[in-house]
Structure 1
Amino acid sequence: MKDLHEILAKSKNYGNLTLLEHTEHVTQAIEKFATEFAFDFNVDIARKGSILHDLGKAHPYFQRRMQEYNGVSLAESNEWDFAHRHEISSLAFLPLFPKDEWNTLIDLVIAHHKSIENDPSERGILDLKTNDRAWKEHHLKDWENWCEYGLQIVQKFGIAIRSISIEEATEALEYVESYCENKKYTWSPLRGLLKSADHFASAFMGKTKWKLKPLFKIPNLSHYHKPERQSSIYPLSQVSTDNPKKHTLVVAPTGAGKTDFLLRRCRKRVFYTLPFQASINAMYLRIQRDISPDNPDLDIRLLHATSKIVVKNRIDEQILQPLVGSSVKILTPHQLAAIVFGTSGFESVMLDIQETDIILDEIHTYSDYSQAMVLEIVKALLRLDCRIHIGTATMPTVLYKELLALLGGEESVYEVKLSDEILSTFNRHQIYKVADENEINSILETAFARNEKVLVIYNTIGEAQDAFQKFQEDFPHIEKMLIHSRFKRGDRVALEKRLTEEFNEKISPCLVVSTQVVEVSLDISFDRMITQAAPLDSLIQRFGRVNRKRNETTIGKYKPIHVITPGTSVLPYKMNIVKASFEQLPDNGELLEEHTLQAKIDSVYPVLDTKQIDVHLIFKANKYTIKELTNFRKAVLVEALEIESATCILESDRTKYETADWEERLYMEIPVNYKSVSRHKSKFEQLQIGMYPFVIPQREDQYQLLGLQLIEHDNFF
């Protein structure tokens, strides 16, 4: 018989951690989480669940895998050829605990890796019951030999032990099966608790106890309350945030002090959402800069695919990003979407955000499926008793009324809008309508002669790439850059930094060609813009990147915006919306007045236009539609939202990608919308490793100039 310290929970490739050590780490985490989460957990039973959760890893099937032992004969290999789930074997130890605790312990343990049924791997307990008549025998194979390890671990935690016969263990698994078969339609906080603790302990192993200390701290946001941050330049800085109403709706132009105002409304831990990758990168750096001096040990996190790149070499901080307990977390609503679509880990997200402050900034940027998703997220956050603070530069009245009603109306919502007099101080753009794109060069010649920084925005990546190549030839001596979403994740972060720190600060003429990625929360201020026509709310956001700096000398000064007349295609937007938006714009250098924007927006959006996503929701008609201890597949998000769900790499990176670790691969990956490659996916090889990237045969020099081009032979598609 092996020594207990030879029984592993993690293989040599993942730390060579013993089962006893891992159990200790998970127990440390669950005691912290059960105490800190707003849900009313029984800490003592939660602790027992953590002790129990992985005892099934002592099963010889699992230990053979840890040792990468495949047997010495075909007969031996066949003997062990069955599906084994260690969490099922763990519950054979239920007889050690009081019978009235069994149901809670099952909820904690049985689905901490797999749904109990309809799991993609078909290895949930009810899946195995259907697919494997001998599932109980397999999960108790050699019970008399390996159960001793589990008993020793339980005893180490001060729990009385006794021998458990194979008959008792079998009866326990039969009870688990019956209990799972009768599960109701709801969500399981207990599953979320155990998963949160297990993921945290697995991430930090021996550092778990130390890494738990700064979690769940309410951030000190006094920086945003300092008297020196109050100024008539930023009118919201002079508006009190002490209103007792729970929720917030603030509508104000870019540069009015909306970010400070929203943060001053927060009382607990903060989740700050913004729509685009570039905007959350910038907000993360801004909040870190602002509040770190007053919060030296504060846990501030950035949550999305490139967060590990943005935080660079701080490995522990990289690991923390997706885990629970942060004081401030900056993310996109897509990272919260699990709570409405029920994808893997949604229970942990629900526990993490319960009773916290949620900022939904720039909410007007969402449309169709994404807007429907955000409205459903608001409903879910209300069920979790969150304080919700919504900020926007513009919002159709129909959407405003919908949100106001959802949040409980005037009795529950602190509504803040600026007066027409104050709004007039935000007039800063003179609008010129341009007949077609042939006029762009003459506009640029004038701008460069005046030493101006110019931002040119296209609606599609292909158009931006084509234009940039043309500008390279037409204006060879003007410094320029191209930025859009189809760059490698590592390069994208560098481009954002170059845009904000280099081009934004230039005093000589320069040109930036971009897509919508610059629309929201990037703190850049250019002298002139040329843009394709787009929906009015999107255009207003784009305009905010010109003449953005606000001080005594810039108020009352105006800068030019040139909007190109809609052509035969306005993809990815709807033609009727773009045409209606274009008609609302002034012309011939006339001032776009801030106080008129609401009427213009309402003219473009007279009704609420959201796509139906009901079929995907886990909560409909005031009840849950998902069975407890299950989750839906991630593909639900792809189907519902059409987000950047596929990954590409360059052919030149293929060999390196195949041998790289997960972090090195992240830098090489280029996220794209799945629809962009799905029509032609048979033309591109798709690797079966990492993020299953499509391999694109593009030369490295062309990529460095233009970013990814989805090329089939010599044609663009």
Structure 2
Amino acid sequence: MAPPTPPPSKQPTRTPADQPAPADACVLHAVLAKSAQYGRRPERLTAHLRSALEAADLVARRTGRIATAAGILPGFWDAVRLADLLHDTGKIPPGFQQMLTGGPVWGERHEVLSLAFTPLIADAKLRAWVAAGIATHHRPLTNSPRSLAALYGTAPLAEWRARFAPLDQAMADELAAWLYQAADGAGLPVKPLLSGSDWIAQAHTELGALLDRFEYGTDKDEGLIAVLLQGAVTMADHLSSAHARPHLLQPMGPAFAARLENTIKTKGHNLRPHQQRAAAIDGHLLLRSRTGSGKTEASWLWACRQTNTMQTAGQGVPRVFYTLPYLASINANADRTAWELGAPELVGVAHGRAAAYHLANAACPEDGDEKRVNAARKAVARQAATRLFTETVRITTPYQLLRAALVGPAHASLLVDAANSVFIMDELHAYDTKRLGYILAMMGLLERLGGRFAILSATLPDALADLITDTLAQTVTRTDDADSHPPARHRIRTRPHHLTDPAAVTEITEHLHRGESVLVIANNIRQAQQLYDQLAPKARALQGPEAATMLHSRYKRRDRARLEQHITARYGVDRTRIGRRLPGLVVSTQVLEVSMDVDFDVLFTAAADLEALAQRFGRANRIAARPPADVIVQAARYSLREDAPGQWFADGIYPQAPTQAAWRILTAHDGQPVDENEITDWLNTIYTTPWGTTWREEVLHHRDQFAATFLDFTYPYDDRTDLAQRFDELFDGTEAILIDDRTAYAAALDQADGRPGRLLADDYLISLPASTAPRAHYDKDLKVHVIDGQYTSEHGLKAVRDPGTNYRPTETA
């Protein structure tokens, strides 16, 4: 195929908005596309189609020229524009119009009848792609009882006539004339449609041709083009339906780079060598840089160069995605990015709780009901803007990017939005082989679609760096901050007993008596709760009622937010900077590893793999404001797990082999300060063991498995519901409310209609592992899972009392 056609370099002399309305006093004037909803007036069909065409043009301008291995059909963006112009033309039958004004459900699919107007396109190949975009903007084409193939594929023309009748010939003819005028005015390759055409017969013929083309599979590269087309069409449709416009400005460009460098200089510093190197790289980057070395700034400088280079090359307005593994770190990064850029309207937060993040920024806990309702409405609007892809900077998780692989009407727009984008992947975890493999597979696809990647980590083993290099086709430039020699922040101490052993509790208590801030990180929730019950009374007796806190993932949302705010306020790095540090105790799990910018005097941690431990070390003496802080690692206790027969795990969480390898290294360095550059060498030693070989094989297996399962587009328009369910099981988990909160949850829902009310009610949700979903009762009235759990705002969820379940909170987070 020929290379893709970029958006027109100049605007056509005539646009739909410039055209006089064609005899709008005629019957077409009364035809609707949208009913009155959410306080809006009904929308006329011609207005919606014109708006969809304009939105398609904006999507084309922002996305730019998409390049794949096989190229894209000539006129790709013309196909998108024409499909959006025609996508809802099948709404003209009286049955559909009556439904929009309160009548009975019509029962037919308007997108099928919309195919009747594709003879408007003069070129046969372009017409076939336009038909694909029209037919698939709501439902799968094939492989499902609800697909268009199942509903219409075998029905004879006579049956179609009966199902779509009556169809007003004069109205259809008038619409055909309007479509030609709109398309021709936009400079699109069209020809006049014949008045008096048999519109139903034309739709029947077009669907048949479409099924012949896709029902039994197609070339994989053509299948990729097909889902990209679907994504572009649906994106423009959703934008026009919401009366929204995507931003066409990328604030992370040369001007921001210059401003950032000037800001650093005004503070009396120059760019560090690794920041200068990152700023000069054109292409993929792999950066090893310790915590506090300015790697975020280095990645921003790198991104500024990429967006400028890509935009000059015709790759639209590249979006910047900054991915992090935990929600709290995402939210903090979003705040900082919006502040530094000075453009909060261009920075979106994309994760499952994004609306809650916006609500927290818009409302205070002491606000009354009316203020919180208004804040909830604003928060939902901001989340909707991100779902419509309006912002050009996105802070998100790597798993949100994986959702693009689900394609279909609901997810294909994610793939288009990610094309020609810049990706900064911070702290890409290596120890979860399945998720890492999936992320690598998606990186390979996004690179094919013009993407550029920067991988950032304080501790990134060569084995992972090699996998990244092997996955990406283009050159990956590696650099680090090894030429800097910062003071040591930590001193390793190892203990032969477990974290829950009385000897460990005694030693922790001694540090509390010294008036220190003490962080204790357990590998699972049950052990964290046990330690907290033993240590909290001592901390409070010594330093007051606010001096003991616990944090893990099994709290109600509102309780977890309160706990995180308290921990940050009491132990945040800002307190260290101004010399107002406070003593106290925090007992946590891995949720605190990389999610909060806090600083403690001493760390006690259960043994785990070295990457997890290195992240935990970073919560003590975070900015090296003091002599090396003790990081005390307690010996592991190993157990079997039901989901991994024959395999042993530290506290049921971390695999035995890498945990033991880390333990051997740490005990060999007991009592020594940590050279953070040396941690990478330790990791490389671990990954060259037989376990490391197995690890690599597992990652490659999962990478290839994900590519074969999710990234094979041989059947581009099949129903992927089963894949979506499998995806949700892998990543999403479950949330539930306590049965005791059911009344309060219902009352919160009633505070506001729709999503704002749901957002206010979400305060009561507790995160659960996916394995507990069958054990929770689904309340159909409230549309939420309900559990009978043992819970306190201090301890979080301790047990589920639902009959037949033996859940205890032993998970890592």
Question: TM-score normalised by the shorter chain: which range applies?
Answer: 0.7 to 0.9
Work out whether 1:282 is the aligned partner of 2:332: yes
Partners of 1:132 and 1:496 in 2: CA distance: 59
Matches within 5 A, 1:233-632: 235=272, 239-266=276-303, 267-268=306-307, 269-292=319-342, 296=343, 299-312=346-359, 313=375, 314-315=378-379, 316-340=381-405, 342=407, 345-365=410-430, 367-408=432-473, 412-419=475-482, 422-423=484-485, 425-433=487-495, 435-436=497-498, 437=500, 438-477=502-541, 478=544, 479-504=547-572, 505=575, 507-520=581-594, 522-550=596-624, 553-554=625-626, 557-569=627-639, 570-586=651-667, 588-606=670-688, 607=693, 608=696, 610-611=698-699, 612-613=701-702, 617-618=706-707, 624-630=712-718, 632=720
SS at match of 1:590: coil
Q: Kindly indicate whether the alpha-carbon contact (under 8 Å) linking 1:344 and 1:633 is maintained by their aligned counterparts in 2.
A: no
Contact 2:491 2:628 in 1 (8 A): yes
Encode CA deviations 1:394-450: one digit per residue, 9 max, x unaligned: 1222222222233457xx23221233x735634423323251222333233222222
Partner of residue 90, structure 1: 114
User: Does the 8 Å CA contact 1:9/1:17 hold for their aligned counterparts?
Assistant: yes
CA–CA distance in structure 1, aligned partners of residues 408 and 524 of structure 2: 30
Amino acid at match of 2:58: K
Q: Give the TM-score taking structure 1 as reference length.
A: 0.85
Match of 2:138 among 110, 113, 119: 113
CA displacement 1:254-304 (0-9 Å, x = unmatched): 112111111111131311111111211111111112121xxx475111100
CA contact (8 A) 2:607 2:659 kept: yes
Structure 1 residue 490 displacement after superposition: 4.6
Percent of residue pairs identical: 23
Structure 1: unaligned runs, 5 residues or longer: 71-76
TM-score w.r.t. the length of structure 2 is 0.76
1:180 aligns with 2:211: yes
Which shifted more, 156-165 or 506-515? 156-165
Preserved CA contact (<8 Å) 2:441 2:471: no
Counterpart CA distance in 2 for 1:487 and 1:365 is: 27
Is 2:87 the counterpart of 1:53? yes
- The match for 2:731 among 638, 643, 648 is 643
* TM-aligned CA distance change 1:632 to 1:618, over 3 Å: farther
Structure-2 change in CA distance of 1:299 and 1:245 (3 Å): closer
Displacement of 1:111 in angstroms is 0.7
Matched positions, count: 683
**Counterpart of 2:241 in structure 1: which amino acid?**
S
Matched, 1:695 2:786: yes
- For the residues of structure 1 that align with 2:49 and 2:211, how far apart are their CA atoms? 24
Deviations along 1:6-58, one digit per CA (max 9) or x if unpaired, are 62424535744313443333222111111221236555553332221112233
Task: State the SS of the aligned residue for 1:123.
Answer: coil
Output one character per residue of 1:660-680: Cα deviation in whole Å (capped at 9) or x when no partner. 5323324236364553304xx
Change (3 A) 1:162 1:351: closer
| Secondary structure of the corresponding residue to residue 221 of structure 1 | helix
Matched to 1:306, the amino acid is R
Mapped to 2, the partners of 1:492 and 1:285 lie a distance apart of 19
| Residues 347-390 of structure 1, C-alpha deviations (whole Å, 9 max, x = no match) | 32232222222111112355211110121122112211222111
Structure 1 137/322 Cα, relative in aligned 2: closer, same or farther at 3 Å?
same
Contact 1:36 1:216 in 2 (8 A): no
Structure 2: gaps spanning 5 or more residues: 1-25, 67-74, 185-190, 308-318, 360-374, 640-650, 809-813
Distance 1:568 1:613, change over 3 A: closer
Helix, strand or coil for the counterpart of 1:507?
coil
178 and 286 in structure 1: CA distance in 2 versus 1, 3 angstrom threshold: same
SS in 2 for 1:513: strand
**What secondary structure, in the 3-state scheme, does the structure 1 residue paired with 2:277 have?**
coil
1:685 aligns with 2:795: no
Q: 1:2 deviation in Å?
A: 7.4
Alignment-mate amino acid for residue 567 of structure 1: R
Contact 1:619 1:625 in 2 (8 A): no
Q: Is the 8 A contact 2:519 2:604 kept in 1?
A: yes
Q: Given the superposition, is the C-alpha separation of residues 177 and 238 from structure 1 closer, same or farther in structure 2, using an over 3 Å criterion?
A: closer
Choose from 782, 797, 803 the match for 1:708.
Answer: 797
What is the CA–CA distance in structure 2 between the aligned matches of 1:20 and 1:650, rounded to whole Å?
Answer: 49
Deviation at 1:616, TM superposition (A): 5.5
Say whether the 8 Å CA contact 1:424–1:595 is kept in structure 2.
no
Q: CA RMSD in A?
A: 3.4
Residue 74 of structure 1 corresponds to none
Q: For residue 464 of structure 1, what is the amino acid of its counterpart?
A: A
> How far does the alpha carbon of each residue in 1:281-337 deviate from its partner, in whole angstroms, 9 at most, with x for none?
111111112121xxx475111100121121223444332122225321111110110
In the alignment, the residues of structure 2 paired with residue 33 and residue 471 of structure 1 have an alpha-carbon distance, to the nearest angstrom, of: 57
- 1:30–1:193 Cα contact (<8 Å) kept: yes
Aligned equivalent of 2:765, options 670, 687, 710: 670
Corresponding position of 1:73? none
* C-alpha contact (below 8 Å) 2:338/2:344 kept by paired residues: no
Which residue does 2:58 correspond to in 1?
A: 32
Q: Contact between 1:344 and 1:634, CA under 8 Å: does it hold in 2?
A: no
2:638 match: secondary structure: coil
Deviates more, 1:54-63 or 1:230-239: 230-239
Deviations 1:462-501 (A, max 9, x none): 3323433443444443522222223344544444333323
